[in-house]
Amino acid sequence: KYAKYVGLKRDFRLVARGVARNMIAVVNGSGELNILLN
């Protein structure tokens, strides 16, 4: 059970990193999202 939790945490970290990378790409592509974030 604990190992499963660690695996989920690792997957979540990878997913979060991927989402952050996609958001950065979108921000670089358009300035309006950057305004929304600020």
What is the secondary structure of 1-38 as a DSSP string?
-HHHHHHHHHHHHHHHHHHHHHHHHHHHH-HHHHHHH-
Model pLDDT for residues 1-38, shown as the tens digit of each residue: 677 888 888 888 888 888 888 777 776 666 665 566 65
Q: What pLDDT is recorded for position 16?
A: 85
Question: What are the CA-CA distances from residue 11 to residues 15, 30, 38 (Å)?
Answer: 6, 29, 28
pTM confidence score: 0.44
Q: What pLDDT is recorded for position 1?
A: 66
Q: What pLDDT is recorded for position 34?
A: 57
